[in-house]
Amino acid sequence: MKPAPFGYHDPKTIEDAVALMAQLENVRALAGGQSLVPMMNFRYAMPDHLIDLNGVAGLDMLEIGDNIRMGAMLRQRRIEFSEELRMACPIIHEALLHVGHRQTRNRGTIGGSLCHLDPAAEMPAMMLLLDAQMMAFSVRGARMMRVDEFAIGFMTTALEPDELLTWSAP
């Protein structure tokens, strides 16, 4: 299977990424590609434009202090191997070991998993369990949501078509 033709955009800043999201029609963010690319290959998803987040600076933070903050582009592999995170919140580490395989975790991101919002997926369930806060960003600025406001239905988030998830705080 091959995807339908699409335009590819490779922004380096979050401002450029959301400007593209706002300008273009039928646009999707590309994170680890572990769910989006198979869906495109089966033509369940047919975006006209992909905004690749892999080169965007500042989206892959993992902050552990009084609160935990995970950037949308934080690879699942980094969550798996962070001893600091395992000590701070063991259940995220435990759950992550059930997400796919080593190969998919090498590329897959926390933000991709949360935005894909598969009801069988472990990370959205963890965010609900931990009452996470979710931060979205667009040309209109930043917007904070509770996870129960973010997850509004079957594989459906409250993100507007031109909004990116930037981080989550479980």
Ligand X SMILES: Cc1cc2nc3c(=O)[nH]c(=O)nc-3n(C[C@H](O)[C@H](O)[C@H](O)COP(=O)(O)OP(=O)(O)OC[C@H]3O[C@@H](n4cnc5c(N)ncnc54)[C@H](O)[C@@H]3O)c2cc1C
Please list every residue from 128 through 157 that binds ligand X, using CB under 6 A: none
In the set 24, 77, 112, 126, which binds ligand X (CB under 6 A)? 112
In the set 14, 24, 68, 115, which binds ligand X (CB under 6 A)? 115
Binding mask 45-64 for ligand X (x = CB under 6 A): --------x-----------
| DSSP symbol at 75 | B
Q: How far is the CB of 83 from ligand X (least distance, A)?
A: 22
Q: How far is the CB of 165 from ligand X (least distance, A)?
A: 4
Token pair 């931060």 is at which residue?
Answer: 135
Q: Are residues 125 and 119 in contact, defined by beta-carbon separation less than 8 angstroms?
A: no
**β-bridge partners, 69:** 63
Q: Which residues are within 8 A (CB) of 136 and not within 5 positions of it... i.e. 6 or more apart?
A: 142, 143, 144, 145, 159, 160, 163, 164, 165, 166
Residue nearest to ligand X (CB): 112
User: In this chain, which stretch among 7-15, 112-120, 127-135, 144-152 interacts with ligand X, using CB under 6 A?
Assistant: 112-120
Alpha-carbon distance of 170 to 168, in angstroms, equals: 6
Closest CA to 161 of 140, 145, 132, 147: 140
18 binds ligand X (CB under 6 A): no
* Nearer Cβ to ligand X (68/110): 110
The side-by-side arrangement of strands in the sheet containing 7-9 is: 7-9, 49-52, 27-30
- Binding residues for ligand X, rule: CB under 6 A, are 28-36, 53, 72, 98-100, 104, 107-109, 111-113, 115-116, 121-123, 159, 164-165
